[in-house]
Amino acid sequence: MQRARRIVVVTQHYAPDPNTTAIFMTAIAEQLALESPVVVFSGWSGSAAAASQRQGGPHIIEIRNWMPAKAALVKRAAAELWFSIRVFFILLMRLQRGDVVVTVTAPFMLPYSVAAAAWLRRARSVLILHDLFPDVLVMAGLMRPRSIAATAIHAANALMYRALSAVIVIGRDTTQLLKRYKGVTPDKICFIPNWATLPIGLRPIESNNSYRQVCKRGFIVGLSGNLGFTHDPLVVFEAARMLLDADDIGFLLSGWGTGFESLQALQAEAKLPNVVMMGRVPETDLAEFLASADLWIIPYRKNAAGVSVPSRFYNLLAIGRPVAIVSEANAEAAVTIRDNDIGWVVPPGNPAALAAAIRAAASSGQARAKGMRAVEVAGQYSFKQAMTRYRNLVHRLLEKPV
């Protein structure tokens, strides 16, 4: 008797990891498990124990993993390479013909292992493309575009994309960059945007909001989340410096990552009176924190279009707040903002333009109107719609003859 084909999810990050990737991969695995057998190979310690406390759901198999700090680049690269190698051999032993393997670009070596193992075992493979390599490393200034390393990654990508059964992009701007690879045909690309993890509904500005009381300004500009190598913390800080004369405008900055550490260092030296720095906000307080600001900033470096899509964007829309994004005009979030008039699009590396956008938001009353429209737009990026697309794709691959 032939065994039923399974869905296999391979991810370094999984619940109870609070990482954004973990939140999305856990949701995808649990929803797919409602209709099909799902096995998750997780690199997060404690994920199997956490899953065992819930009835039903996917079967979790932990892969022992070493997780150095993000700033320790060499150690982190070595750990991620070792994890990817272990995944390759585990999949070679566990995968069976006709299975569908779903993975993500974190760490960036993982998809190569998954695609190779799936190809060898006659299984289908699906990549959820959160970051495009080596482009994201080039954009961050960590790699030269014509270096040996970049050329090698491009060559590996050509083989990987040819072996993959489907590539899920979370931003439409990524499609043009993927078409550079001969193995990526239009029918292989599937656009499934991320979704808001918070309930969709307008949160009014309330003076008694505990986070708003910390800043004590009439118009609060917020920054939240992971600031990595692709983000530009300097443009936010310089805009705050340019707005020192605007007594009613304050900045409430919270997050983590190398970029946020740079912000902390800048503020420790300058001590701008209109800037309040905070650590990472717990997930349980996220809705209240996001509701505390009148306007939110997402600051990217140059050439971010198609390379990285901000997942935090949809939660900002869900609570009814306008967004000022620093990025190229053709980036996914920038197109959404411009087409729906729910914020401002600012050219990268231009703090004066960002300061001007903030002044306009604070003085014209547009922020409230744009925020109300943002709630309506958030409905287009619902969890239900995303899961329907994931199920349709995976089931099509499960039913496809090998």
**Would you say 291 and 281 are in contact if contact means Cβ atoms under 8 Å apart?**
no
Same domain? 360 vs 386: no
Q: Are 119 and 242 within one domain?
A: no
Residues 38 and 170 placed together within one structural domain of the fold: yes
Q: Tell me: do 351 and 376 sit in the same domain.
A: yes
Could you tell me the mean pLDDT of each successive run of 10 residues in the chain, 402 residues long? 77 91 94 93 90 80 80 77 94 94 93 97 95 87 89 94 95 91 90 93 92 92 90 95 95 92 94 94 91 96 83 92 95 94 96 96 89 94 93 92 74
Based on the fold, state whether residues 181 and 234 are members of the same structural domain.
no
> Do 395 and 374 belong to one domain?
no
Counted domains in the chain: 2
187 with 223, same domain?
no
User: Does the residue 203 lie in any domain?
Assistant: no
Closest CA to 227 of 140, 109, 336, 117: 140
- By the 10 Å C-beta count (0-12 exposed, 13-18 middle, 19+ buried), 57 is classed as middle
pTM: 0.89
240 with 191, same domain?
no
Residue with tokens 């925020």: 371
**Tell me, what's the pLDDT at 71?**
58
Domain hosting 132: range is 7-195+382-399
CA atoms within 13 A on the CB side of 153: 19
Q: Are residues 258 and 342 in the same domain?
A: yes
Quote the tokens at residue 335.
Answer: 């197109």
CATH of the domain at 156: 3.40.50.2000
Half-sphere exposure of 193 (CA within 13 A, CB side): 24
**What confidence score (pLDDT) does residue 72 get?**
65
Task: Flag whether 200 is in a domain.
Answer: no
Domain-embedded: residue 155: yes
Q: Is residue 204 part of a domain?
A: no
In a domain, 262, yes or no: yes
> Domain check: are 222 and 96 in the same one?
no
Q: How far lies 47's CA from each of 59, 63, 65, 98, in Å? A: 10, 10, 12, 26
Report yes or no on 40 lying in a domain: yes
> Quick one: 386 and 376 in the same domain?
no
- Asked whether residue 2 is domain-assigned, the answer is no
19 part of a folded domain: yes
Residues 105 and 234 in one domain: no
